[in-house]
Amino acid sequence: MKNLFILGNWKSNKTMTEAANWLEIFSKNMPQIPGHVSIIVCPGFIHLPLFSSRTAPFALGVQNVSAYETGAFTGEIAASMVANTVSYAMIGHSERRKHLGETDEVVAEKVKRVLSVGIRPVVCVSDVAQAEKLAASVPEFTKTGLILYEPLFAIGSGKSDSPENANIAAGSIHGILPETPILYGGSVTAENVRGFVGTEHITGVGVGGASLDAAKFLSLISAAL
């Protein structure tokens, strides 16, 4: 059976109380998850202790890490600081590329950092060229990395790409990274998720807005199974 990854990206949202409420509802209502399915939740850094202090029925990820090792980098969270807490790290989300000037070079540095401490990188790309640069600059990415393909127009817009188009883009990325699981992201909902995970090249989804409400995220997971 093909693996399936469902990754929730909370972005810059939720107080501690809101996160605790979400976790309460989610944990109580989570369906039985088959072995080939990985649920990954990427909350804010401040929420990590809340999540890791419980036996959460999913894997934990972060939305970013520093491009540097530990040391005099005020405000940064180094990959090694979260290595014992999370299994995945999103790198190079298009919002970071756009608002925080994250270049392909910075993305490559961050990927190296997380690989060096045993975290699986989930590199976000909005086109095939970004995947090409990654493959060329960090060949070791292919061992454990995942790609989250998110076309810019589809992020947070309520207008997802079609499964057909997304599958074509994922096929091109597979031409460069044949072994890498490719997730689609951009306005994924409980209503459209099946279309994406049913395609040849797409092995899961990245979910922003629809992961913020525990009940909605649970419906999406059930629809994808």
Q: Which residues form the catalytic set?
A: 93, 150
Residue among 102 and 150 whose Cβ is closer to ligand PGA: 150
The footprint of ligand PGA on residues 3-42 (CB under 6 A) is: 9
What is the distance between the alpha carbons of residues 134 and 6, in angstroms, rounded to a whole number?
Answer: 22
3-state secondary structure 57-121: CCEEEECCCCCCCCCCCCCCCCHHHHCCCCCEEEECCHHHHHHCCCCHHHHHHHHHHHHHCCCEE
Nearest distance from C-beta of residue 225 to ligand PGA, angstroms: 19
Interaction of residue 66 with ligand PGA, rule CB under 6 A:
no
Paired tokens of 21: 């409420």
Q: Which residue is nearest to ligand PGA (CB)?
A: 208
Phi, psi of 8 (to 5 degrees): -100, 125
Question: By rule CB under 6 A, what string of x and - marks binding of each residue 201-220 to ligand PGA?
Answer: -----xxxxx----------
Q: Closest separation between CB of residue 219 and ligand PGA, Å?
A: 14
Counting residues that bind ligand PGA (by CB under 6 A) gives 13
CA angle 125, 89, 99 (to 5 degrees): 50
C-beta of residue 218 within 8 angstroms of C-beta of residue 30: yes
Q: Is 43 in the site for ligand PGA (CB under 6 A)?
A: no
Tell me whether residue 163 or residue 209 sits nearer to ligand PGA (CB atom): 209
Between the CA atoms of 169, 173, 179 and 185, what dihedral angle is there, to the nearest 10 degrees? -50
Structure tokens at 220: 């999406």
Q: What's the min distance (Å) between Cβ of 184 and ligand PGA?
A: 10
Q: Could you say whether residue 188 binds ligand PGA (CB under 6 A)?
A: yes
Per CB under 6 A, contacts with ligand PGA among 139-178 are 150, 155-156
- Residue 177 CB: number of other CB atoms within 10 A? 19
Q: How far is the CB of 73 from ligand PGA (least distance, A)?
A: 25
Among 186, 203, 204, 217, binds ligand PGA (CB under 6 A): 186
- Could you tell me whether strands 120-125 and 204-207 are parallel, antiparallel, or unpaired per DSSP bridges? unpaired
- The token duo for 122 is 């989930």
How far apart are CB 139 and ligand PGA at their closest, in Å? 26
Q: Which residues bind ligand PGA (CB under 6 A)?
A: 9, 150, 155-156, 185-188, 206-210
